[in-house]
Amino acid sequence: MQNLIAFIKRLRFFIVFFVLQFFALSMYVSFMSAPRSSYFTTASYISGNLFKIRHSITQHFLLEKNNEALQKENVNLRKSSSLFLYNEASQETRVIDSTSAQQYDYIPGTIINSTTMKRDNFFTLNIGNIQGIEKGMGVFSSNGVVGIVHNTSEHFSVVKSVLTKNINIDVLLTEVGASGMLKWTGENSNVGYIAGISNDIVVPIGSKVVTRGGSGIFPRGIEVGIVKNTITIEGEASWHIDVEFSQKYAALENIYVVKNLFLDEFKTVQNQ
């Protein structure tokens, strides 16, 4: 106790100065509008940035959880979209309230390994047979078509991506109604091409390209990209149409696997 009293006595002038200084500054800020405004502005700026930093840190740790929630929400929205439903009402009967049945199911997943610089590129997914993944199912992202499931195990799947030699996905040019096959030259991971469209058809640059849905692997209307260029093939009656992919595959992470609930029936009819 005596040591504390001795310490206070030694610093008594500094303590008195500090108290008086604090009192003077408080009075100054209280009665002068400009300094007071500056003080509160500075305080708000500092606290605002601290909150921003805290929010960024929190969002970083919740990112994976938020992505999963967003994927589930997107699946539910796609299931309810009329574009991906099968119309069960006959067109020949006059029905005011037509009924629709779900034709496609969507299984969300994440790419855990990938290549984009090889001639044939594949993606590895963190979902497999347990989640209902089977060979031949289509894979797409929120930005566009991704590829087709090539092989599966109990917990994982390997996807043959659009960036492979023999992908052959049937696509549609929405502006002109022409269809062809999507392929890849093996050069630029951002650009593919369409084969099989007659050069009698005028194809505007910038035309939108989507999946046609003719193979039963993908629903009709999933985005593929836009027409970048059209080239006449010497000695052939078809275009070489360059397509800029809507999905940048080097930055791809979250995907959806498509399950066609009518696929067996579709194949049976096709084979007959």
Q: Do 143 and 208 sit in the same domain of this protein?
A: yes
- Asked whether residue 80 is assigned to any structural domain, the reply reads no
C-alpha dihedral (257, 260, 266, 270), degrees to nearest 10: -10
H-run or E-run covering 107: strand 104-114
The structure tokens 């799947």 sit at 157
Do 113 and 49 share a structural domain?
no
Is the model's pTM score more than 0.75? Answer: no
Question: Could you tell me which residues are beta bridge partners of residue 169?
Answer: 182
For residue range 34-73, list pLDDT tens digits in order.
Answer: 444 444 434 434 544 554 455 455 555 545 555 655 665 5
Q: Which residues, in sequence order, are CB contacts of 76 under 8 Å at separation 6+?
A: none
Tokens of 107: 């299984």
Phi and psi angles of residue 156, each rounded to the nearest 5 degrees, phi first: -135, 165
**Which structure tokens are listed for 156?**
């994982």
Residues 53 and 180 in one domain: no
* Overall domain count for the chain: 2
Please report whether residue 88 resides in a domain: no
Same domain, residue pair 166 and 42: no
pLDDT tens, 178-233?
999 999 999 999 999 999 999 999 999 999 999 999 889 999 999 999 999 999 88
